[in-house]
Chains A and B, each alone.
Chain A
């Protein structure tokens, strides 16, 4: 399958990038990390087990290690670097408060998932956070703290006064 043009456009964190057509058949993860320098997205397993490379495609989470650039199409990509900065600061504060980050390698993936969940993300409408986060492995913290962080972020987002717990 040949692409007619030598370049194609891919929108990452609101910025349109023109990249060579060779990237069509390569992983989104590699484009982000080695071509665009967005190294906040981590490669933990390369096979979709761990979720460290999670990014949003039109607001929905995908593992970028199993996503070819050609699969992105016209959808926009959001990485940890492109998340709402207020959300990120609250996420960081929650991690500090609960001991929810240790080595930090899985944390960007959880930051992306937390943003999706707080924005109302769900697959079936009644899955628990734990179920929805099944694809993000953390070997350090034991999850309890991250559940607490996401729960408190949701409370903040539902309370427009922003009174943090």
Chain B
């Protein structure tokens, strides 16, 4: 049995997988960042005299060492070390030493003088107070977006019912298990940066511009990634380690302590959404208006793109006739935000799906029926120009409705169901919510949305698969082996995947946006087809009769012609760069759909919500790894339940994170696990490798909305703020007028 276990799963299960902190060269210097205790303060002076005299201390870096350098793929606004600290935790200096004891002594000996500045820790403060967080952003607006599609006046003329409301989502830390870790190795003519990142190719490109003026070059090596969920991209700590390694001529390691990681890592963007949706007399959703305000924190990450996504992405699942959307991304003196599984969409769906339930109720339709009546379908071009190649949305809704009805029927007679309107303490209710998701886009890099996969046959008969992607724990490694083995007709055992090594890897945008199965998969298929052609040519010239790929590789090795069999396959879809003014166009080569359902029990005395059963129906297309896909859904739903019910970064008025720990943030633990049934709709997408779409992000997206709808069904109150804690639910119950 054990020989059926894939190498990547076995290595991780046996503790043999190697993460950055497991790859520390002996003699490496240890480094750490010194963080501002103030939410907004100018660094007047860093006196490192005493620190540098501390035994074991090797060096100190200050903001002056990075003058003029900023990082940020979309808005380059984050310095490696800040001359003006913009949040509690902003790095203002760094120390390297021979060991941790000396490092701590060196940090303690550093004298930093600050000039305290007025701060704004909420978007309201940032808009109204006289606080200038970045002098390049008037009003502290990092970016703005607005668009209108369709004929608004004609559409609203047909509206008979509106539902509207304002919804808020708290920032949530990604809470990956592996804290940020960076190793830099000094090689003869370059520096090797060993760190987990979603996009090694982009990292190399951006950092190379910074290190080349130092007279050196760069190679990125990605070890295993111990979780990220959208957090690990570029980061100031990378540049601090590179600078120390270059200056000291010595390998360097930095592992960010968990508490620092939770105050200076990244988190989901806190958002406020005001949304109104109008329906006509037939229950058709005809008009939607959205206004989004995102809390960017001190620096931008992918916040601008996430905010546009929150403003318009959810519109694409229904056949709206007209939409108006506007969004602002607002700087605050708080931890920088970043994309997090779902890319702003869970926040938008939390608003949309609750309002649609309200409309269904007003129009006398069931939650399933109003969604079926409005769902986009294969062949549709959505209100924002998305071309839908395949959709299992109707089937997903049907599957969830069937399960909810069966569960409800099994409980019939039990007086505590919400619909039975009993007055007992515990009330049960059911929720339904849907989502659409794109598979990659050009938002990350307008120049390209592409993947290459290189195949290199070796003299020993094995084939190396090089990809510019990375393995982030979702099984991309095994997916590529499966595709190549099948397409070439070779044994899996001869295939070795090498990810994310910029010296050897071809181009890859990165593993994020639920894109790797489709993009790297298509590139791998292209590479395999090229290799088969080359094999046929080599076989013909060697006078071999029809023969297998493995046999041709063997013959080519003996005749020194293996280099003729090295091929690079490519997939570059015809999705478009969306104009900034409208964001209209076909975002992605394929779109995936989901419907979720759940049964909750609400304790009306305490407000505690317990999810008793959860159902998740998805249309991921062909499944390369069914257990892995199943596990992805269970894990994403569980993360979503954390966002829905318990998790939030809590700040005091001075921007201090009050709960910087796994348990303080209240991530779901083992006893919080709920029964989750996963349903896969078997539907192939024309763009996908073997019809595959993907699964990564979508299973988180509908969760908070689904739970909110179930709470309403149970007790008749609308929770418009995540997390929907017991306290908030209790308060909503305490202030409502009547029991349903």
Q: Please give the residue numbers on chain A whose beta carbons come within 8 Å of chain B beta carbons, in ascending order.
A: 33-34, 39-47, 49-50, 52, 79-81, 88-93, 95-108, 111, 128-131, 133-147, 164
A143–B638 contact, CB under 8 A? yes
A88–B177 contact, CB under 8 A? no
Interface residues of B in 145-179 (CB under 8 A from A): 175-179
B473–A104 contact, CB under 8 A? yes
- Given A33-B22, A140-B227, 5 more contacts at CB 8 Å? A45-B258, A93-B1, A96-B9, A96-B627, A143-B668
Q: Which label, helix, strand, loop or mixed, suits the secondary structure of the A interface?
A: loop
- Taking the closest CB of chain A, its distance from the CB of B476, in whole angstroms, is 11
Say yes or no: A133-B177 contact (C-beta < 8 A), given A88-B13, A93-B4.
no
- 15 chain-A/chain-B pairs, Cβ below 8 angstroms: A42-B226, A44-B258, A45-B179, A45-B258, A88-B13, A91-B13, A95-B9, A95-B13, A99-B631, A100-B631, A104-B17, A104-B226, A107-B13, A128-B671, A138-B177
* Residues of A close to B1: CB separation below 8 A: 89-90, 93, 164
Among listed B71-79, B491-499, B659-667, B711-719, interface-contacting one = B659-667
Given the complex of chains A and B, what is the CA–CA distance between A92 and B661 in angstroms? 29
Contact partner, B10, options A46, A52, A92, A137, Cβ 8 Å? A92
Say yes or no: A142-B634 contact (C-beta < 8 A), given A50-B177, A137-B667.
yes
Q: Does B686 contact A (CB under 8 A)?
A: no
B176–A104 contact, CB under 8 A? no
* Residues of B close to A99: CB separation below 8 A: 625, 627-632, 634
Given the complex of chains A and B, what is the CA–CA distance between A16 and B622 in angstroms? 51
Say yes or no: A105-B177 contact (C-beta < 8 A), given A96-B6, A130-B670, A134-B671.
yes
B22–A39 contact, CB under 8 A? yes
- Taking the closest CB of chain B, its distance from the CB of A139, in whole angstroms, is 5
B662–A49 contact, CB under 8 A? yes
Given the complex of chains A and B, what is the CA–CA distance between A34 and B21 in angstroms? 10
- Taking the closest CB of chain A, its distance from the CB of B183, in whole angstroms, is 13
Q: Does B353 contact A (CB under 8 A)?
A: no
Contact partner, B661, options A47, A95, A96, A98, Cβ 8 Å? A47
* Residues of B close to A103: CB separation below 8 A: 12, 176-178, 224-227, 472-473
Given the complex of chains A and B, what is the CA–CA distance between A16 and B714 in angstroms? 60
B634–A144 contact, CB under 8 A? yes
Q: Does B15 contact A (CB under 8 A)?
A: yes
A137–B177 contact, CB under 8 A? yes
Interface residues of B in 342-365 (CB under 8 A from A): none
Given the complex of chains A and B, what is the CA–CA distance between A125 and B175 in angstroms? 32
Given the complex of chains A and B, what is the CA–CA distance between A62 and B169 in angstroms? 37
- Taking the closest CB of chain B, its distance from the CB of A46, in whole angstroms, is 6
* Residues of B close to A129: CB separation below 8 A: 670
B229–A139 contact, CB under 8 A? yes
B15–A41 contact, CB under 8 A? yes
Contact partner, B635, options A92, A128, A140, A164, Cβ 8 Å? A140
* Residues of B close to A88: CB separation below 8 A: 13-14
Given the complex of chains A and B, what is the CA–CA distance between A157 and B42 in angstroms? 63
For the complex of A and B, list the 3 residue pairs with the smallest distance between their C-beta atoms, beginning with the closest: A99-B631, A40-B15, A104-B12
* Residues of B close to A45: CB separation below 8 A: 179, 258, 661-662
Closest chain B residue to A114 by CB distance? Answer: B13
Say yes or no: A141-B631 contact (C-beta < 8 A), given A42-B19, A108-B15.
yes
Interface residues of B in 645-667 (CB under 8 A from A): 661-663, 667
* Residues of A close to B473: CB separation below 8 A: 102-104, 140
- How many B residues, CB 8 Å from partner? 62
- Taking the closest CB of chain B, its distance from the CB of A158, in whole angstroms, is 18
Contact partner, B5, options A41, A81, A96, A106, Cβ 8 Å? A96
A92–B177 contact, CB under 8 A? no
Q: Does B135 contact A (CB under 8 A)?
A: no
Given the complex of chains A and B, what is the CA–CA distance between A137 and B224 in angstroms? 18
* Residues of A close to B17: CB separation below 8 A: 104
A104–B258 contact, CB under 8 A? no
Say yes or no: A106-B15 contact (C-beta < 8 A), given A45-B661, A142-B634, A142-B676.
no
- Taking the closest CB of chain A, its distance from the CB of B312, in whole angstroms, is 29
Closest chain B residue to A102 by CB distance? Answer: B473
* Residues of A close to B669: CB separation below 8 A: 134-135, 137
* Residues of B close to A131: CB separation below 8 A: 670-671
Given the complex of chains A and B, what is the CA–CA distance between A27 and B450 in angstroms? 46
Given the complex of chains A and B, what is the CA–CA distance between A148 and B260 in angstroms? 34
Closest chain B residue to A38 by CB distance? Answer: B15
Closest chain A residue to B261 by CB distance? Answer: A45
B178–A42 contact, CB under 8 A? yes
B12–A139 contact, CB under 8 A? no
Given the complex of chains A and B, what is the CA–CA distance between A138 and B634 in angstroms? 12
A101–B673 contact, CB under 8 A? no
Q: Does B541 contact A (CB under 8 A)?
A: no
Q: Does B637 contact A (CB under 8 A)?
A: yes
Interface residues of B in 478-527 (CB under 8 A from A): none
Given the complex of chains A and B, what is the CA–CA distance between A81 and B176 in angstroms? 23
Closest chain B residue to A164 by CB distance? Answer: B1
B638–A142 contact, CB under 8 A? yes
B179–A102 contact, CB under 8 A? no
Say yes or no: A104-B635 contact (C-beta < 8 A), given A44-B178, A49-B663.
no
Closest chain B residue to A106 by CB distance? Answer: B177
Closest chain A residue to B176 by CB distance? Answer: A139
Say yes or no: A46-B258 contact (C-beta < 8 A), given A40-B16, A93-B5, A111-B15.
yes
Q: Does B255 contact A (CB under 8 A)?
A: yes
A102–B635 contact, CB under 8 A? yes
A147–B673 contact, CB under 8 A? yes
Q: Does B400 contact A (CB under 8 A)?
A: no
* Residues of B close to A147: CB separation below 8 A: 670, 673
Q: Does B736 contact A (CB under 8 A)?
A: no
Interface centre among A47, A88, A99, A137 (most CB of B within 10 A): A99
B671–A104 contact, CB under 8 A? no
Closest chain B residue to A146 by CB distance? Answer: B670
* Residues of B close to A164: CB separation below 8 A: 1
Closest chain A residue to B642 by CB distance? Answer: A139
Given the complex of chains A and B, what is the CA–CA distance between A99 and B6 in angstroms? 12
B15–A107 contact, CB under 8 A? yes
* Residues of A close to B5: CB separation below 8 A: 89, 92-93, 95-96
* Residues of B close to A135: CB separation below 8 A: 669
- Taking the closest CB of chain A, its distance from the CB of B41, in whole angstroms, is 27
- Taking the closest CB of chain A, its distance from the CB of B432, in whole angstroms, is 21
Given the complex of chains A and B, what is the CA–CA distance between A42 and B224 in angstroms? 13
Closest chain A residue to B262 by CB distance? Answer: A45
Q: Does B247 contact A (CB under 8 A)?
A: no
* Residues of A close to B672: CB separation below 8 A: 143
Q: Does B390 contact A (CB under 8 A)?
A: no
B673–A139 contact, CB under 8 A? no
Closest chain A residue to B636 by CB distance? Answer: A142
- Taking the closest CB of chain A, its distance from the CB of B37, in whole angstroms, is 20
Say yes or no: A96-B21 contact (C-beta < 8 A), given A141-B631, A142-B637.
no
Given the complex of chains A and B, what is the CA–CA distance between A33 and B635 in angstroms? 29
- Taking the closest CB of chain B, its distance from the CB of A11, in whole angstroms, is 19
Q: Does B738 contact A (CB under 8 A)?
A: no
- Taking the closest CB of chain B, its distance from the CB of A165, in whole angstroms, is 11
Given the complex of chains A and B, what is the CA–CA distance between A105 and B227 in angstroms? 8
A142–B627 contact, CB under 8 A? no
Given the complex of chains A and B, what is the CA–CA distance between A39 and B18 in angstroms? 8
- Taking the closest CB of chain A, its distance from the CB of B647, in whole angstroms, is 11
- Taking the closest CB of chain A, its distance from the CB of B211, in whole angstroms, is 28
- Taking the closest CB of chain A, its distance from the CB of B265, in whole angstroms, is 13
Q: Does B726 contact A (CB under 8 A)?
A: no
B179–A44 contact, CB under 8 A? yes
Closest chain B residue to A48 by CB distance? Answer: B663
A104–B13 contact, CB under 8 A? yes
* Residues of B close to A143: CB separation below 8 A: 634, 638, 668, 670, 672-673
Interface residues of B in 5-50 (CB under 8 A from A): 5-6, 9-19, 21-22, 24
